[in-house]
């Protein structure tokens, strides 16, 4: 499932496809990441169900073995034979379920690795994608504004200093209000 999209991404990046194709590929990659998340969650559910089934089967095996021991203590050979047959079936089923749980854990690990790799590739594709005409125009306008002496929001250090000063002032005002409320309560008590 993931290999197809991963190969498509590599081919697109290697061929330096036009921006429209890269946007479409990024959309496909996002969809694949969503599908990957679903596959991981479904596999986790399958692991949980298989582990629960294995626990039940182990309990059945223990019950059959206990019944066989109890029957042997009272020398009931017929019940011992039946308990041994059931124990053998439960032992075999337990072995199969243990293999199933191990395989599901391996499959889950594979899906999680693939999903993480796809997330990294998607982030890289979105970060490294060529700018659209609108983005280039906006960037050029910001550079012109900054060259004329204007400031770009979020880039000016003075904006950050002012923001932190306002945050500090707000925290101090909140602390003063709380202190006044506490003093009022203490006077009432």
**Fold (topology level) of 2-130:** Helix Hairpins (1.10.287)
Rg of the chain over CA atoms, in angstroms? Answer: 33
Q: Residue 129 carries which DSSP code?
A: S
pLDDT at 171: 81
pLDDT at 97: 96
C-alpha–C-alpha distance, residues 61 and 89, integer Å:
8
pTM of the predicted protein model? 0.55
C-alpha–C-alpha distance, residues 97 and 177, integer Å:
63
pLDDT at 124: 80
Domain locations along the chain: 2-130, 134-189
pLDDT at 102: 96
| 25 class by beta-carbon count within 10 Å (0-12 exposed, 13-18 middle, 19+ buried) | buried
Per residue of the chain (189 residues), give pLDDT as tens: 556 656 665 666 555 545 556 667 777 888 888 888 888 999 999 999 999 999 999 999 999 999 999 999 999 899 999 999 999 999 999 999 999 999 999 999 999 998 898 888 878 877 766 666 666 677 777 677 767 776 666 555 555 666 677 777 788 888 888 888 888 888 876
Torsion of CA 56, 62, 66, 67, to 10 degrees: 40
Residue 20 burial (CB count, 10 A): 9
pLDDT at 85: 95
CA 189 to each of CA 166, 179, 183, 186: distance values in angstroms, whole numbers, following the listed order? 35, 16, 10, 5
pLDDT at 50: 96
């Amino acid at each position: 499932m993931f290999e197809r999209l991963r190969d498509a991404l590599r081919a697109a990046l290697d061929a330096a496809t036009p921006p429209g194709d890269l946007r479409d590929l990024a959309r496909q990659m996002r969809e694949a990441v969503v599908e990957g998340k679903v596959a991981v969650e479904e596999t986790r559910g399958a692991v949980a169900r298989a582990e629960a089934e294995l626990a039940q089967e182990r309990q059945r095996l223990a019950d059959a073995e206990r019944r066989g021991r109890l029957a042997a203590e009272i020398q009931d050979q017929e019940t011992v034979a039946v308990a041994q047959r059931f124990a053998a079936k439960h032992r075999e089923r337990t072995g199969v379920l243990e293999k199933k749980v191990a395989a599901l854990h391996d499959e889950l690990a594979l899906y999680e690795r693939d999903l993480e790799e796809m997330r990294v590739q998607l982030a890289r594709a979105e970060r490294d994608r060529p700018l659209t005409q609108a983005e280039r125009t906006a960037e050029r306008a910001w550079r012109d504004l900054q060259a004329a002496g204007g400031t770009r929001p979020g880039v000016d250090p003075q904006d950050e200093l002012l923001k932190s000063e306002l945050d500090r002032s707000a925290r101090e005002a909140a602390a003063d209000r709380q202190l006044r409320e506490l003093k009022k309560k203490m006077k009432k008590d």
